[in-house]
Structures are given as structure tokens and as C-alpha cells.
Amino acid sequence: MCGIVGFVGKRNATPLLIEGLKRLEYRGYDSAGVAVLSVSGMAIAKTKGKVSALDAELANHPIEGTAGIAHTRWATHGAPEQRNAHPHRVGQIALVHNGIIENYAALKMEMIERGASFLSDTDTEVMSQWLHDRCAQGVSFAEAFGMMLPLLHGAYAIVALHEDEPDTLYVARKGSPMVVGTNDAQECWVGSDMLALAGYATQGYYLADGEYAILQPSTMRFFAADHTPIQVTMQSMNVGAEIHDKQGFAHFMLKEIHEQPDVIRKTLSHYYDHETQSVHFEGLTLDPTTISSITMVACGTSFYAAQVASYWFEQITHIPVRIDIASEYRYRHPIVPKDSAALFISQSGETADTLAAMRYAKEHGAHTIALVNVPTSTMAREADSVIRTLAGAEIGVASTKAFVAQLTTLAALVLYFGGARSTLSSEETAHLMHHLSGVAEQTQQVLDEKMHYDRLALALMYARDMLFIGRGTSYPLANEGALKMKELSYIHAEGYAAGELKHGPIALVDDGVPIIVIAPDDALFDKSASNLEETAARKGNIVLISSKERVANFHGNVTHSVAVPACHPFVAPILYAVPLQLLSYYVALHKGADIDQPRNLAKSVTVE
């Protein structure tokens, strides 16, 4: 969730670390800090708030050194205050940390009994105090670092410095991602995200769980959890820094919404061969004809993609599907059926709950499939099969193009399964793929009318509550639309199956509550229209999102309407996601919210 950057080389580390932190701002954070080492000692700067505040502090009080660590913190233990910001220094030691140390209270009590005095409320300072105590007893820092790691329960990505070693970084990882990079200039880099290293490191290695490393400009030593030295294979890093350019858009989110037509095209060209009219998934090592059921597990927006896909799979492939929220999955000790597949969806491939759920399913005999946007992620490395979503880097915290990429990839996967299991003929597969291929252009048509959403947002921005409703695959979209509105505008919004309104939520309806009705032109339109009228009878402020033909000919009681290009019902969830994204974006824009970095949120949730 938080961001980590580390550097050791011959250049001044401070501006490099600050640039790395700026690249990681999309992850969500509430404070920032940096520690640098030179031959004259250690210097630290920490501020509450944005990296820009830290940058201003450093402009007034510069610090320099050729090795350093930097961090953006998303609060877990202790309020967002300067004293809780990382790095945490005790004596000659400074340390930054992502994750949660679950047994920190016991370790803290041990250190207090040994005379330690804590300055923060964090679990991270416990590690700095522990290392300082062992070094005070004459233990070398390298030995103390290795001794500490087995004592830590929970998840961590750690980078530490010691004042007596101004050319060395100590790095460890368990459950929280960490990449090590290098280049021809004999510089070493570390980061919680490859983006922090883009344009600097030319080769990289993702630490595996339990591994740690001691890095110097000319030497990198890697160790297994049992302290055995290991040899690692560095991979080429070809991610460019240009992804951080908004390319003329006001926000990364708006840029990424506009990238969706290309994302759809790129996805389909990767998984569908137009000449042979066949769908292929080279990363899938499972025979679709051998499975008895599918479990889909994810969090947040990815869960709603799974919810949409569950309709597609059951209707088209006739495979029973169960969907689960990742944070609950393993705690109910689910039964994993024999001959089952378990599909885990995560943009980052590092989502802690989803990763833990995947490990549970794998331990209990399921064939695990990771559907991720980062092919080098932990989930991709540990799953039995890997399916890539080709969204590219997504900087906006609220997911847009990653969601559309997930839906497009899942739609293609359904066609692949349907063909393999003979529930779809080749003609039917080609027919649905034809409609799927047309979504890119239809999405562009929605984007060309984005100012309509700008005007509509002005009418909705003062609402305190909103309801999003839909039927069939539009029900998960209602959930996703409500989530986007909450994330971006901070308006309380809830998604409901349209038929469930009368079972309670209709009590909330009055003329101050906008009801967003997602009703594609499909077999369920008339039923959705009936639910619309139920809310209209109670003075609901109704926004109808449907096809241009349905909107033009609808004579019911609506306050506003949004016309979407006509499309096949199979692809409607992909297309109808875009109006919901635009509506949330413009409501947030008019409310003056921080669109790319909504409060309290993080892009990659690597803690439970």
C-alpha cells in the first residue's frame, strides 16, 4: 500500500528518491519521508501530507548523501502525523517498512522492558529499536538484520540503513512486494513498485517471500530465509518513465478512461486470432473440459468483474460458479471441490487478501489461475496458470481501464471455455467476438459525448446519498458504479439488484436521492423499467442509462437520461462501465475532490 524507494550509488540520492516517491503517489498515502547517508553521517526529513510538502522542506533544508531510503505511508498503526512518518531512526539505524507486523505489541513490550523509549505509535519503530538494541550488544548490523526477520509475524517489505555503512542497503520481503534493480553505472535501486525504478534500473529481481539482500554499488548478495546465500537471475526492466505523463489530460484517471478503447483492442488482438477465428490463452495450463466448477475470488472492483463473469460463465459454458470476497474466503474454511478451478483477480497481483486466498485454494487441491495486470507479481509467480490483463500501468487509484481490461479478458476467456466445452459453436464464438470487437468503437462514442456527463454531474454533486440499481450483469455494474462514486466524490452510494429495492432500500428513496438505473436494451429491460417506476412513485430523482433507442422511446418518469450506443447484451457490462466512470469523475471534479489520489485509499492493498 505504501511506497518504498531506496538508492545507493555515486550520485546524490535525495532528488532521485523524491522522484521515485512522486511516481508512487498513486498508491495512496498520508505522509512522506527520506533518510540519506553520506560519509559525514545520516540526515532525515519527514512531513505529514503530500510529497510536495517534503520536497518543499528539502528545498529549505537540503540534505545530501549517496545512499538513501524514502517512504510514503498509509496509516495502519498511529495517526497520520510527522512522528509516525517513516523512516524511523533509532541511533545509527533508519528503516522504512510496508505491511503490518502482527506481533509488534509483544516485541514492543520486550523493548520497553529493555529500556527503549518509543517516539511513534507504529509497528515499524519496533524493528528499528530491536536492531539498535542488538547492535548495542555488539552484534553486527548484518547479523542483527538476519536475526530479526524470523521473529516478525505478518507482512513486510523492509529497507534499512546503518550510519557506519554509508554504501549499503539492507532489504527484506515477506508478503509485501519488493523489487531490486541495478544498472551499468553500478547503482542499486529498490522499490515497492517497478515504476519507481523506471528509467533508472535496467535489470531487476523481485524478492521471493522470506528472501533478503545486502546491496552495495558493486556487490549484491541475496539470501534465503534460512540465511543461505542464493544466486538470482536478473530480468530486463523495460518500463519507461513516460507513463507518468498525463498527456494533456487534467488527471491520470481521465487519461486512463480515454485509453480504454485501445486497451480493449490490445486485449482482443492478443487473445483472438481473426484469421482462424479462434481464442487462445497460452498461459492457461488447464483443460476446460476437465473441471467441474469454478470459484472466483477478488476484492473491490476486481470482485465486481468476477461477479459479471460469473453470469457469463454459467450462461455460456454451463459451469457452476461461486464468487467470493477475498478477505472472507479462507476464514469460512470453504470446501474446495475436486476437479475445480479457482480464478483470482487482482490488478497488481499483490493484493494481500487475494494472494492469501489463492494460497488456500492451492493447498486444498484447486487449479489456481491468476488474472493479473503485472506478470512479474507474486500471484503470477505462484499460480498454476496465469492470464494477463493488458491494461498497462494505471496511476489513478480508482480503477478504470484495469476494470475494463479485466472484463474484456474474462469475456474472451468465457468464449475460449465455451468453444472447448462445445457449449458454443465456432459460428457462435465468431458472432460474440464480432460484438466484443465492436466495443472499442462504441466506447469511443461514449467518450466523444463526455461533456454530457459533465453537465449531469452538476445536477448530482450536492446529493448526500445515491442508489445504483441494475439486473443481470448490470447488478455488478451497479455495485461498481456506486463504488466509483464513493471513492471519488465521497458521496455515500450503494449498489443494489433492482428487484431488491422493495425489500428494504426503497425506504431511503425521496426527491433528494438520485437513483442511477443501469438498464441496457436486453431481455431484462422491462423489469428494470418497472423498478424505475416504483422509485419514481416515491419521488425518486431518476437517472436512466440505456441505449439511445430505449432512451428516445421511454415515456416513464425520469429526471435525467444517458444514451449509450446500441450493443449486444453480452458486451453491455464493458460498454456501460464507461458512463459510470465518467459520471463519478465529473461529480468529483465539481466537488473539488482529489481525483487521482482519493483520501484514505491505496492503489495496491498489500495488508489484510
Distance CA 117, CA 32 (A): 23
Q: How would DSSP label each residue in 240-255? A: -GGGG--TT-SSHHHH
Q: Would you give the end-to-end CA distance of the chain in angstroms? A: 11
- Cβ atoms < 10 Å from Cβ of 586: 25
Task: Report the relative pairing of strands 88-90 and 93-101 from DSSP bridges.
Answer: antiparallel
**Cell representation of residue 88:** 524511523
Distance CA 152, CA 214 (A): 19
At 267, give phi and psi (nearest 5°).
-65, -50
Q: What's the angle, vertex CA 228, arms to CA 225 and CA 233, rounded to 5? A: 85
- DSSP class of residue 594 equals -
Distance CA 146, CA 148 (A): 6
Tracing cell 455515500 back to the chain, one arrives at 492
Tracing cell 507504529 back to the chain, one arrives at 122
Residue 337 near residue 291 (C-beta atoms within 8 A): no
Distance CA 70, CA 399 (A): 26
- Cβ atoms < 10 Å from Cβ of 283: 15
- DSSP class of residue 208 equals P
Q: What's the angle, vertex CA 84, arms to CA 38 and CA 136, rounded to 5? A: 55
Identity at 78, one-letter amino acid code: G
Distance CA 260, CA 580 (A): 14
Tracing cell 496458470 back to the chain, one arrives at 385
Tracing cell 462514442 back to the chain, one arrives at 445
Catalytic residues: 2, 603
Burial of 549 (0-12, 13-18, 19+ CB in 10 A): exposed
Q: How would DSSP label each residue in 293-332? A: EEEEEE-HHHHHHHHHHHHHIIIII---EEEEEHHHHGGG
Residues in the chain: 608
Q: Over the range 154-182, which residues count as b (16 or more CB within 10 Å of their CB) and which as e?
A: bbbbbbbbbbebbbbbbbbbbbbbbbbbb
